[in-house]
Structure 1
Amino acid sequence: MFAVIGVHLKLSTLNIILPVGISFYTFQTLSYTIDVYRDKLKPTNDLIAFASFVTFFPQLVAGPIERATNLLPQFYQKRTFSFEFAKSGVQLIVWGLFKKIVIADSCAVYVDYIFSEYETQNSLTLVLGAIYFAFQIYGDFSGYTDIAIGTGRLLGFKLLPNFKTPYFSRNIAEFWRRWHISLTTWFKDYIYIPLGGSRGNKGLQLRNVFVIFLISGFWHGANWTYLFWGGLNAIYFIPSMLLNKNRKYTDKIEFSGLSVLKMIITFIITCFAWIFFRANSLSIAFGYIKRIIDFNIANPIKYLSIDRYNVEMIPLIILFLVFEYTGVNKETPLLGKYSYLKTVSIVLLIMILGVFSDQKDFIYFQF
Structure 2
Amino acid sequence: MIFANLFFIYLFLPLNLIFYFVTKNKTFRNIVLVVFSLFFYAWGEPVMIWVLLGSVLLDYALALLVERCHGTWGAKAALIASVVANLGVLGIFKYSGFLVENLNAVLHTAIPVPQIALPIGISFYTFQMLSYMVDVYRGEVAAQKNPIKFLMYVSMYHQLVAGPIVRYSDIAEEIDNRRITATEVSRGISRFIVGLAKKVIIANAAGVFVGQYLNGDLSNLSVAGAWFGILMYTLQIYFDFSGYSDMAIGLGRLFGFHYLENFNYPYIATSVTDFWRRWHMSLSSFFRDYVYIPLGGNRRHQFFNIFVVWFLTGLWHGASWNFILWGLYFGVLLVIEKLVMLKLLQKIPKFFSWLYLMFIVVIGWALFYFTDISRLGQFIGLLFGVGANGLFDTALGITLSSNFVWIIIAMVSALPVVPWVRKFLYDRLYEDSPVYTAISSVQVVANVVMLGICTMLLVGQSFNPFLYYRF
The TM-score, its normalising length taken from structure 1, stands at: 0.84
- Counterpart CA distance in 2 for 1:229 and 1:237 is 13
| Aligned-residue offset at 1:129 | 1.1
- Please name the residue that 1:106 is paired with: 205
- Please name the residue that 1:28 is paired with: 128
Gaps of 5+ in 1: 1-10, 250-256
- Counterpart CA distance in 2 for 1:216 and 1:14 is 23
2:319 equivalent among 205, 211, 222: 222
1:135 aligns with 2:235: yes
What are the superposed Cα offsets for residues 168-227 of structure 1, whole Å, 9 maximum, x if unpaired? 111111110110000000000000000111112xxx211111111110110011101100
- Counterpart CA distance in 1 for 2:284 and 2:405 is 34
Q: Which amino acid aligns with 1:96?
A: G
| Aligned-residue offset at 1:104 | 0.5
- Which structure shows the bigger proportion of residues in helix conformation? 2
- Counterpart CA distance in 1 for 2:146 and 2:422 is 36
| Aligned-residue offset at 1:346 | 5.7
Q: For the Cα contact (< 8 Å) 2:193–2:450, is it kept in 1?
A: no
1:286 equivalent among 367, 374, 377: 377
Q: Which amino acid aligns with 1:42?
A: A
| Aligned-residue offset at 1:325 | 2.6
- Counterpart CA distance in 1 for 2:315 and 2:422 is 32
2:329 equivalent among 232, 251, 254: 232
| Aligned-residue offset at 1:354 | 6.9
Q: For the Cα contact (< 8 Å) 1:89–1:151, is it kept in 2?
A: yes
- Counterpart CA distance in 1 for 2:421 and 2:409 is 22
| Aligned-residue offset at 1:55 | 0.6
- Percent of aligned positions that are identical: 31
Please, what is the CA RMSD of the aligned residues? 3.1
- Counterpart CA distance in 1 for 2:394 and 2:468 is 31
Q: Which amino acid aligns with 1:344?
A: V
- Please name the residue that 2:396 is paired with: 303
What are the superposed Cα offsets for residues 278-312 of structure 1, whole Å, 9 maximum, x if unpaired? 11312111101111211754543423566996444
| Aligned-residue offset at 1:244 | 9.2
- Counterpart CA distance in 2 for 1:188 and 1:313 is 37
- Please name the residue that 1:361 is paired with: 465
With a CA cutoff of 8 Å and minimum separation of 6, indicate the structure with the bigger relative contact order.
1
| Aligned-residue offset at 1:58 | 0.5
- Counterpart CA distance in 2 for 1:26 and 1:171 is 30
Q: For the Cα contact (< 8 Å) 1:106–1:309, is it kept in 2?
A: no
Q: For the Cα contact (< 8 Å) 2:223–2:392, is it kept in 1?
A: no
Aligned length: 343
- Counterpart CA distance in 2 for 1:181 and 1:97 is 20
Q: For the Cα contact (< 8 Å) 1:98–1:346, is it kept in 2?
A: no
- Please name the residue that 2:144 is paired with: 44
Gaps of 5+ in 2: 1-110, 430-435
1:55 aligns with 2:159: no
- Please name the residue that 2:165 is paired with: 65
Q: Which amino acid aligns with 2:445?
A: V
Q: For the Cα contact (< 8 Å) 1:121–1:302, is it kept in 2?
A: no
Please state whether the residue corresponding to 1:59 is helix, strand or coil: coil
Q: For the Cα contact (< 8 Å) 2:203–2:240, is it kept in 1?
A: yes
| Aligned-residue offset at 1:73 | 2.8
- Please name the residue that 1:316 is paired with: 409
1:188 equivalent among 283, 288, 293: 288
